[in-house]
Amino acid sequence: MFCLCKGKNMFFRVKGVFDNFFDMSYWNGVRKKIESHLKQYNFSEIETPLLEYVSLFERGLGYETDVVSKQMFIVETKGSKDDKICLRPEGTAGTMRAFLELQAQLSTPFKVFSYGSMFRYERPQKGRLRQFHQMNLEVIGASSIQYDAWLIKMLHVLFLEKLNIDSFVLKINFLGQLEDRQAYSKALQTFLEEKREHLCQTCQVRLEKNVLRVLDCKSSDCQTIIENAPELSDFLSEKSKQEWQELCDLLHELSVTFMHDPQLVRGLDYYNKTVFEFVSTDLGAQSAFCAGGRYDGLAKQLGSKSEVPSLGCAIGIERLLLMLEAKKEQLSESKDLLICIIPFDQEQHTLALLLADDLISKGKCADVLLEDQKVKNKMKKANNLGAHFVLLLGKEEQENNTVTVKNMMSGEEKVVLQTEVLKNL
C-alpha cells in the first residue's frame, strides 16, 4: 500500500496517504447510510476548514498530548510565525471554535455532523494513516448526562441495526470532574513513582506530564504495573458517582450493552465525565472505529467566558470500511445502468454524440467510445466498463436512421429506429 520506490521522473504518493480509485461507490454508500441515520436524529451537516491555527489544538487538546506534541502537520506559510497554521488533526476543536464565533446566531443543543479528512503524523499501519477520514459528530450546549446515553444509543443503533455489525464491544469509562481527576492523578503518580524504573521510556515522561496516559500504554511491563494501580472510580465525588450511575441505568434501560473499562482515558485532554470507544476484534492493533465523550471545559479553554457543556464522537471511516468489507456489495451505492454507444467509423461520431446527449437529457447514463479502434476491441472495452446495453452505429444504421441495440446481459440484439431507442432499453 505504501510504495516507496522512486522511479526516475515519477511521483508517488506521500507516505501514509492513499488514492481512492476503485471504492468510491462503497465509500459513498456507507457515508450516505450514516448521514441519513444522523438526520433521523436531527443532526445537521456543517463543514469547517482543513486549516486551523496550531494554538487552537495546543489549548484545546493539550500541549502534552501525542496529537499536539508529535503528530501535527504544520503548514509553512508567508504569514506571521506567531500564527502557525496546521492541517487539522481532529474535528472537535474546530467545530467548537466555529460555534463560539457564530454563537449569537445559533441555538443549543447544536447538533451537527461533518465529514472530512484529518491529518496526523503517525507511523502508518493497517487502519492507521496520515490522512484519514472521520464522520465527526458534536452536540454542543447539552449539559444533562442523559444526552450521553442518547448519543451512545444512537451510535449503537447505527452500528448494530443499520450497518449490521455484530463484532464490536462498547467500552465506557467515567472520568468525573476536573477535581476528581486531579485527586486521582496525584494518587496514581505516587503509586507509579515507586515503580518508575519498570515503566517504559514513554511512560516515564508521561509520569511527569500526563500521568493518566500511562493507563492506556500498550507495553506489557506497564500493563502489569497498572493492574494493581488505584482506580479512578474510587476518586469520584458523590455528584460524579450519581451521574455515572444514572448513565449506566439509562443505558441498561435503552438496552445498550457495554463494558466498563476503568483504564480508558482517551488521548485528548479535553474530556471529562463520559468517555467511550467502539472497538472491534476484526481490526487488529488499531481496534477503535468510533470514539468520543464529553468535553464540558473545551469552550472555556478556547476563550469562552461561560462554560458550554458538550459531547461528541468521531467515526474512523477507513476502519469502519475495513470492518464492513464483506458487505461491500450490499452497501455500495447502486450505479445507473450504463449504455455504451459504439460508432464504427469517424462518419458516425457526430450521430453517436447526438444520441448520447439525447439519452443523457432523458436521465440515462451513457458513454461514447470515440477512440479509433476496431469494433471488436470497442465491444471488449464496453464489457470492461460494465455496460448493460451497447448501441452499435455503423454505416447501415446511419443510412436507415436505426441503431443496433445489444443487451450485454442476455446477448439479445435488435435493430430499432433511433427515435425509439429509449423504449427498447
Beta strands in 238-353 (DSSP E): 259-260, 272-280, 288-294, 310-316, 338-343
Query: Are the C-beta atoms of 285 and 177 separated by less than 8 Å?
Result: no
Min CB(89)–ligand HAM separation in Å: 8
Segment interacting with ligand HAM, rule: CB under 6 A, options 121-129, 196-204, 215-223, 332-340: 121-129
Nearest to 171 by CA among 66, 292, 346: 292
**Nearest distance from C-beta of residue 370 to ligand HAM, angstroms:** 41
CB of 383 to ligand HAM, least distance (A): 37
State in angstroms the smallest separation of the CB of 12 from ligand HAM: 20
User: Quick one: 146 or 401, whose CB is closer to ligand HAM?
Assistant: 146
- Closest contact distance (angstroms) between CB of 61 and ligand HAM is 8
Amino acid of residue 164:
N
**Using rule CB under 6 A, residue 171 touches ligand HAM:** no
Binding mask 79-118 for ligand HAM (x = CB under 6 A): -----------xxx--------------------------
Nearest residue to ligand HAM, using CB?
316
Quick count: other Cβ atoms within 10 Å of Cβ 210?
19
List 48, 114, 134, 274, residue binding ligand HAM (CB under 6 A) = 134
- CA angle 361-366-367, nearest 5°? 130
Q: How far is the CB of 42 from ligand HAM (least distance, A)?
A: 17
In the complex with ligand HAM, which residue's Cβ is closer, 155 or 390?
155
Strand pairing partners for 111?
139
- 8 Å CB contact between 225 and 207: no
- The stretch among 125-133, 157-165, 234-242, 390-398 that binds ligand HAM (CB under 6 A) is 125-133
Cell numbers at residue 385, please? 466498463
Residues 6+ apart with CB under 8 A from 205: none
C-beta neighbour count of 414 within 10 angstroms: 11
Measured between alpha carbons, how far is 410 from 370 in angstroms, rounded to an integer?
Answer: 25
x/- site string to ligand HAM, residues 313 to 352, per CB under 6 A?
A: xx-x-xx---------------------------------
Taking the least distance from each CB to ligand HAM, the nearer of 132 and 159 is 132
Neighbours of 261 (CB within 10 A): 18
* Strand 389-393 versus strand 402-407 pairing type: antiparallel
Q: Which residue has 463494558 as its cell numbers?
A: 259
When the beta carbons of 112 and 211 are compared against ligand HAM, the nearer one is: 112
C-beta atoms surrounding 190 within 10 Å? 11
Candidates 97, 120, 171, 206: give the one binding ligand HAM (CB under 6 A). Answer: 120
- When binding is defined by CB under 6 A, the residue of 64, 122, 333, 367 that contacts ligand HAM is 122
Our CB check for ligand HAM shows the closer of 136 and 348 to be 136
Sheet-wide strand order for 85-87: 51-53, 85-87, 73-75
In 63-149, beta strands by DSSP E: 73-75, 85-87, 110-119, 131-140
Residue tagged 465527526 (cell numbers): 136
x-marked contacts with ligand HAM along 267-306 as a string, rule CB under 6 A? ---------------------xxxxxx-x-----------
The residue (of 273 and 319) whose beta carbon lies closer to ligand HAM is 319
The DSSP string of 9-34 is: T---PPTT----SS-HHHHHHHHHHH
Site string for ligand HAM, 361-380 (x = CB under 6 A): --------------------
Q: How far is the CB of 111 from ligand HAM (least distance, A)?
A: 12
Rule CB under 6 A: which residues touch ligand HAM? Answer: 90-92, 120, 122, 127-129, 132, 134, 136, 138, 288-293, 295, 312-314, 316, 318-319
